[in-house]
Amino acid sequence: MRRSLVLLSAGLTVLSTGLAFAQNNTPRNLILFIPDGLRALKVTPETAPAMAEVRDKGVNFKNSHSLFPTFTMANGSAISTGHYLGDTGVFSNTIWTNYTSVPAGDTVVPFIENDAVLGDIDEHFKGDYLNEETILKMARDKGLSTAAIGKVGPTYQFDHTDHPEKPGKHSIVIDDSTGGKNGVALSDEMKEALTKAGLALATPGRGDNGKAGDAKTPGTTVANVAQQAYLADVATKVVLPMFKARNKPFVLVFWSRDPDGTQHNQGDSLNQIMPGINGPSTMASIKNADNNLAQIRKALDELGLAANTNIMIQADHGFSTISKESKTSPSAKVSYDDTPKDFLPMGFLALDLAKALDLPLFDPNDKNAAVIGNAHPKAGNGVLGKDPAKPDLVIATNGGSDLIYLPNRDKKLAAKTVKALLEQDYISGLFVDDSLGRFPGTLPLSSINLRGKSATPTPAIVVNFRSYASECGEAPTNCSVQVADTVLRQGQGMHGSFSRGDTFNFMAAIGPDFKAGFVDELPVSNADVGMTAAQLMGLRGAQNGGLVGRVMSEALPNGIVPKAFRTVEKSKMSENGLQTVLNVQRVGTQRYFDAAGFPGRTLGLETGKQKTAGK
Ligand SMILES: [Zn+2]
């Protein structure tokens, strides 16, 4: 077995030097279509005919993986660079940056789906917070046409080091902020082309789709139709014709906010688990993203570009319905103005840890005001310690998982924190920075590729929350329910956990460089997408870190078909009998993470015993 592994990795190295187009130095065009938050098994010919067609006629990646923490910016960083999060440093959507970001609202824990915030973080981290080159930058440097269109945050992240005011070639970036003060400026060429096509110079807002509701008011019941219709029109009526006229290869990224935005905000299921994110609003949002893809494919046909264009579709992550239930949480027993009785409030992790560790809690989203009485932190984030300007512990709240940072690298505090976390029924799996030592009940960050060459600070502890399958009558991954630290309500939607419902993202591809009618059984991930996209376009960037995905050679004609192996990794047992279990698949040196957590508390988690019993 050892020898075959060596041969395998040698083979992959040869392949990644550019065999795919060795006979033809001009790469084909590439479209990366990201239906944000689309679960793999929600796509059928009825629910999403355009995506089903790509999957069924092209490559069906049926063993796909979003990277944990299963959030948008994190997975966007992997798709755009081919690196795991330990290298890109985008550990989640809200991270601790160890400095006060003004555009993020004077906070040390910025929410980074914002172009001005990304620009600010870039400046702080020597011009490139990702510390790895993106595909779009590499393509632009090579003189190819490049564009990123779609949801604010991940769209600009695809070419965040591009500065339109400087001379040289630029990417077209159109997102929610276009036309506003935070948006990337439009070139004169784009302004003229948009006007000629009868399209506005500013992206319309989300309207009702942006309404999340509250504990008494259901959220939205409409998909993000109007905004995405504009973005799809920009792609098909302006950008693709412009690229065709330039007559050179292009890379176009289209990041569809739906179904994510609608699944988060939907008002189909206020305060109750069913139907959760399987109600009519969600289904409309899946169809909305599908309509955008259909429009793009139709335009490729009409422009005569289809035969020379590869399309890769990958959701950044899956999705789950939110639960706010806990029997052990002290904060769930307190009553808050905006939270139904006995439900977990937003910021429960910060509140519960402040109590358990007996440390004062301050709100980094409220000028470090003390959080006292029946209040919770405004955005869930917390800084703990005597001096909020020099905290002992920082919590970046995200949803299905949260990040804990220990600015002083205090190992005793790490041990106390782990012990407190192990007491709570909403926790399922803890990952601790290797440099802090090993703690029974937890696995090291390195085991899930979260320790690398990141420019941003590495979290001390990554906390995964409990998940389970509801009786929704579909595949368990479509019925995922998770405890989530969020302002959103029980019954609305969230992601970020190690549930297989969150890691199982929709993935498919079609085009001249992909096999046709091929079902790929091998594990693949969003980091592999980045590496494969670079391979298809003949791009090679400077690599700082070594946590890279693999080229999905088995999906390419004449590509090597490697072998995969499954393993179950387990931590030592904690004093109270808990053990973080990690389900891993391997292809050569690549590691894929299906699910992780405490047995019985994570959807899709298999323990070793079940496997030997014949599963
Ligand atoms: Zn989301």
Q: Where are the domains of the chain?
A: 2-319+499-555, 322-469
Confidence of residue 530 (pLDDT cuts 50, 70, 90): very high
Q: Are 402 and 439 in contact (CB under 8 A)?
A: no
Backbone angles phi, psi at 65, to 5 degrees: -140, 125
Per-residue pLDDT reduced to its tens digit, 440-479: 999 999 999 999 999 999 999 999 999 999 999 999 999 9
The pLDDT of residue 167? 85
- Letter string b/e over residues 519-557, b meaning 16 or more CB atoms within 10 A of that residue's CB: ebebbbbbbbbbbbbbbbbbbebeebbebbbbbbbbbbe
Q: How far is the CA of 260 from the centre of ligand 1 (A)?
A: 5
Backbone angles phi, psi at 59, to 5 degrees: -110, 130
Q: How far is the CA of 487 from the centre of ligand 1 (A)?
A: 13
The pLDDT of residue 208? 98
Q: How far is the CA of 98 from the centre of ligand 1 (A)?
A: 24
Residue 314 in 3-state DSSP? strand
Per-residue pLDDT reduced to its tens digit, 435-445: 999 999 999 99
What value does the mean pLDDT take over residues 536-540? 95
Q: How far is the CA of 59 from the centre of ligand 1 (A)?
A: 26
Q: Is the pLDDT of residue 614 over 70?
A: no
Provide the Cα torsion 496, 374, 426, 473; round to 10°.
Answer: -70
Confidence of residue 24 (pLDDT cuts 50, 70, 90): low
Which own/partner pairs from 301-309 qualify as long-range (CB within 8 Å, at least 24 positions apart)?
303/240, 303/241, 303/244, 304/244, 305/29, 305/240, 305/244, 307/512, 308/28, 308/29, 308/512, 309/28, 309/29, 309/30, 309/31, 309/511, 309/512
The pLDDT of residue 5? 38
Q: Are 507 and 72 in contact (CB under 8 A)?
A: no
Instruction: Compute the distance between CA of residue 115 and CA of residue 112 in angstroms, rounded to an integer.
Output: 8
Q: How far is the CA of 10 from the centre of ligand 1 (A)?
A: 38
Q: Is the pLDDT of residue 519 over 90?
A: yes
Q: How far is the CA of 34 from the centre of ligand 1 (A)?
A: 12
Distances in Å between the alpha carbon of 4 and those of 374, 562, 563, 588, 606?
61, 9, 9, 9, 27
Q: How far is the CA of 319 from the centre of ligand 1 (A)?
A: 8
Q: How far is the CA of 216 from the centre of ligand 1 (A)?
A: 22
Count of CB atoms situated within 10 Å of the CB of 109: 28
Q: How far is the CA of 305 from the centre of ligand 1 (A)?
A: 32
Q: Answer whether CATH 3.40.720.10 is correct for domain 2-319+499-555.
A: yes
- CA 438, chain centre distance (Å): 28
What residues contact 364, with CB distance under 8 A and at least 6 apart? 107, 108, 109, 377, 381, 382, 383, 388, 394
Q: Is the pLDDT of residue 221 over 80?
A: yes
Q: How far is the CA of 600 from the centre of ligand 1 (A)?
A: 25
**pTM of this prediction exceeds 0.75:** yes
In which element (H, E) is residue 56 found? helix 49-57
β 59-61/518-520 pair status: parallel
The pLDDT of residue 333? 97
Instruction: Compute the distance between CA of residue 266 and CA of residue 549 in angstroms, rounded to an integer.
Output: 34
Q: How far is the CA of 408 from the centre of ligand 1 (A)?
A: 31
What value does the mean pLDDT take over residues 315-342? 97
Q: How far is the CA of 448 from the centre of ligand 1 (A)?
A: 21
In which element (H, E) is residue 310 found? strand 309-314
Of the ranges 167-176, 229-238, 249-258, 398-407, which one carries the lowest mean pLDDT score?
Answer: 167-176
Average pLDDT, rounded, for the chain? 94
- Letter string b/e over residues 318-353, b meaning 16 or more CB atoms within 10 A of that residue's CB: bbbbbbbbbeebebbebebeebeeebbbbbbbbbbb
Instruction: Compute the distance between CA of residue 393 and CA of residue 341 in angstroms, rounded to an integer.
Output: 28
What value does the mean pLDDT take over residues 130-151? 97
Q: How far is the CA of 37 from the centre of ligand 1 (A)?
A: 6
Instruction: Compute the distance between CA of residue 174 and CA of residue 235 in angstroms, rounded to an integer.
Output: 9
Q: How far is the CA of 436 from the centre of ligand 1 (A)?
A: 31
Q: How far is the CA of 264 from the centre of ligand 1 (A)?
A: 7
pLDDT above 70 coverage of the chain, percent: 95
β 393-396/382-384 pair status: antiparallel
pLDDT above 90 coverage of the chain, percent: 93
**For 242-301, what is the HEC assignment?**
HHHHHCCCEEEEEEECCCHHHHHHECCCCCCCCCHHHCHHHHHHHHHHHHHHHHHHHHHH
Q: Is the pLDDT of residue 388 over 90?
A: yes
Q: Is the pLDDT of residue 20 over 70?
A: no
Confidence of residue 375 (pLDDT cuts 50, 70, 90): very high
In which element (H, E) is residue 597 found? strand 590-597
Q: How far is the CA of 70 from the centre of ligand 1 (A)?
A: 9
Of the ranges 19-28, 146-155, 236-245, 276-285, which one carries the lowest mean pLDDT score?
Answer: 19-28
Confidence of residue 541 (pLDDT cuts 50, 70, 90): confident
What value does the mean pLDDT take over residues 212-216? 97
The pLDDT of residue 21? 46
